[in-house]
Amino acid sequence: MQELVDEANSHLKEGEFEKAKSIFSGLLDINPSNPDYISGFYISGFWDNRLDKILLSSEGKERGLLLNQLFEHFDLEYKNRKYPFTSSYDSILYCIIGESCSQLRIGFQKEGAHNFGKENFLLLIKNLVRSGDYKNSFELIDYSKKFFELPPEYYFYKAECYYHLKEEKKSRILFRSTLLQYPELFPFETIKSEPMSTAWLEISINQSSENNAKEVLPIFCLEKNLLPDIAEYSRTEINIMYQEVQRLLSSTIKDDQDLKLKVHCRILQYCITILDSFHGQLSSDLTRKVREIIQSLDSGLLERRELIRRQSASPTSL
């Protein structure tokens, strides 16, 4: 049966939706309750019904945007139906988002950077990451500097590209620095790199909401020594972080537990970053203050973190 599923998925990747639908239909005749067959049949049927509309659109930017719009609609409906995220889902993402990228690139080549539009350019970067084309996505991210400032979320995509282009240290540093400022923007559905993908899976299971999980994620990574590398911060930047810590400590939070979690996580992130900067060459007074703040929020965090760091450095842990 798996061979038939693989064959159907191959047809999905090639945009041969009717052929994929026929295979899944046959599989459902054998096992009508199999969730993978049900979702595969839905996927192939959804796109087979929209193929004419896609082919009637003009090649280039128009078709690329249409494909993206249709995929967003499909993705929402797929999640609402609570179908499993299987190899068939991965295959259709590869097909549709990949083709959207190809069409948007045709549009970009026809219209040029200035006429193509910033939002379309950013969509192309994002979809290249989603479809696994990290090299071209990274090149476009670098190219974008000529025209506009990259939105904060896109630094996560850049970090993802670094990882898949074998620049793992740069990836970890960029993930960490972006999480410090924008944890709420973490695009968990797109991130496949390690340690972020596994860390997200572990954190999201234990949190009441995606928003809470995004706030806890960097603290989890710092405690577990998953992001040991750190960007270089100036003394001025460190002082600004400490001022932000003081502002957050003085904020009034009553019964909003989610907000309390967010504030505590932000404080812990800043404090750990301050401690990790300059390899302990900060003033003893600032170090003491920061350690006391961490202890007041999570009394065992520093000890747990140090134990994990020692274990990671120990030859017996290899």
Res 256: pLDDT: 86
Q: What distance in Å separates the CA atoms of residue 89 and residue 170, rounded to the nearest whole number? A: 30
Question: Nearest-CA neighbor of 9 among 32, 37, 50?
Answer: 37
Say whether 299 sits in a helix, a strand or coil: coil
* 97: containing domain: 1-116
Does the residue 87 lie in any domain? yes
Q: How many domains does the chain have?
A: 1
Look at residue 318 in the predicted model and tell me its pLDDT.
44
Name, in order, each residue with C-beta under 8 angstroms of 138's C-beta and a sequence gap of 6 or more: 158, 161, 162, 165
Amino acid 285: pLDDT: 85
Amino acid at 54: I
Q: Calculate the dihedral angle through the C-alpha atoms of 91, 96, 102, 106, rounding to the nearest 10 degrees.
A: 170
If we measure between CA atoms, which residue out of 216, 221, 241 comes closest to residue 297?
216
Task: Find, among 108, 135, 112, the residue nearest to 124 by Cα.
Answer: 108
User: How many angstroms separate the CA atoms of 166 and 219, rounded?
Assistant: 25
In a domain, residue 43? The reply is yes
Nearest to 96 by CA among 124, 70, 59: 70
Q: How far apart are CA 215 and CA 179, in angstroms?
A: 9
User: Is residue 88 included in any domain, yes or no?
Assistant: yes
Closest by CA position to 182, among listed 159, 208, 207, 148:
159
Structure-token pair, residue 216: 């806890």
Q: What is the pLDDT of residue 312?
A: 79
- On whether residue 165 sits in a domain, the answer given is no
| Per-residue confidence (pLDDT) for residue 19, from 0 to 100 | 97
- Give the pLDDT confidence of 201-239 residue by residue, as tens digits: 999 999 989 999 999 999 999 999 999 999 999 889 999
pLDDT of 91 reads 96
254 in any annotated domain = no
User: Do 260 and 170 form a contact (C-beta atoms < 8 A)?
Assistant: no
| Alpha carbon distance 147, 113 (integer Å) | 8
User: Six-digit token pair at 303?
Assistant: 């000890």
Q: What is the pLDDT of residue 309?
A: 87
Residue 46 lies in a domain: yes
Note the pLDDT of residue 315: 60
Rounded CA separation 210/216 (Å): 10
Write 109-114 long-range contacts (CB < 8 A, 24+): 110/60, 110/61, 111/61, 113/146, 113/147, 114/147
Low-confidence stretches of the chain (pLDDT < 70) are 278-283, 314-318
Residue 234 belongs to some domain of the structure: no
Residue 14 CA to residue 29 CA, distance in Å, equals: 24
